[in-house]
Amino acid sequence: MSPESDPDLPAGVERRRLDGRDRLATRGEPVYGEPTDGEWRVWDAGRSKLGAMLQSGMDTGLGGGETVLYLGAASGTTVSHVADFAGPTYAVEFAPRPTRDLLPVAEARDNLFPLLKDARKPETYAHVVEPVDALVQDVATRGQAEVANRNRRFLREDGRLLAVVKARSEDVTADPEDVFEAFLDALSGYEVLETTSLDPYHEDHLAVVARPE
């Protein structure tokens, strides 16, 4: 793979050629069987909502080196890439099994801190998490707007909320467009800067970039 410069990507993230395609890549230990080239590993947008946001050209405000709070870390597919280019990265995951899988990912990254916590209860980790530059939200639960509202407390004044709204997690019977509209209506204390569908990478998902008001 050979790198291609892209000023819209955070420092530490590059576009590289693999199998005739431009692929996002970060420098770090492989996590989920992703293709690698030396110390670089492909950031698969089909398996990462934040990767899909960057691949789609959204202005996430990420420049590299930020302090990040990641909600819904699961076993580390996306948060591992974030830790590859960011500063201190707090990874909140509710389920014990994926948190166990996240531990070896963190062992290879000194700046990645797994937290077995419920993102709906930020008071349970408020004593650990410092003010952050980016709040990345990728939770599969009802009340996704309320999760963003409750965790706003950690965002710096010039920080960014990077949220992914999962329509089927909110209401499997509702029209996704109605779910997205309800999320934006319920978002409190934020100014929405940009929204975009994550199709074709992730069906019925809306990506939202916002900042604190």
User: CB-hemisphere CA count at 13 Å for 42?
Assistant: 19
Is 186 annotated to bind ligand? no
Is 140 annotated to bind ligand? yes
Cβ 140 vs Cβ 72: under 8 Å? yes
Is 92 annotated to bind ligand? no
Cα four-point dihedral sign 8, 165, 23, 26: positive
Is 196 annotated to bind ligand? no
Is 173 annotated to bind ligand? no
Write out 170-213 in H/E/C secondary structure: HCCCCCHHHHHHHHHHHCCCEEEEEEEECCCCCCCEEEEEEEEC
Rounded-to-5 percentages of helix, strand, coil across the chain: 25, 30, 40
Is 178 annotated to bind ligand? no
Is 118 annotated to bind ligand? yes
Cβ 70 vs Cβ 139: under 8 Å? no
What whole-number distance in Å separates Cα of residue 138 and Cα of residue 154? 16
**Residues sharing a CB contact under 8 Å with residue 200, sequence separation 6 or more, in sequence order:** none
Is 139 annotated to bind ligand? yes
Q: Parallel, antiparallel, or unpaired for β 40-43 and 112-116?
A: unpaired
Is 77 annotated to bind ligand? yes
> Starting from the edge strand earliest in sequence, which strands make up the sheet with 132-137, in order?
112-116, 89-93, 68-71, 132-137, 155-166, 205-212, 190-197
Is 119 annotated to bind ligand? yes
Known binding-site positions: 77-78, 93-94, 118-119, 138-141
* Bind-site residues for S-adenosyl-L-methionine: 77-78, 93-94, 118-119, 138-141
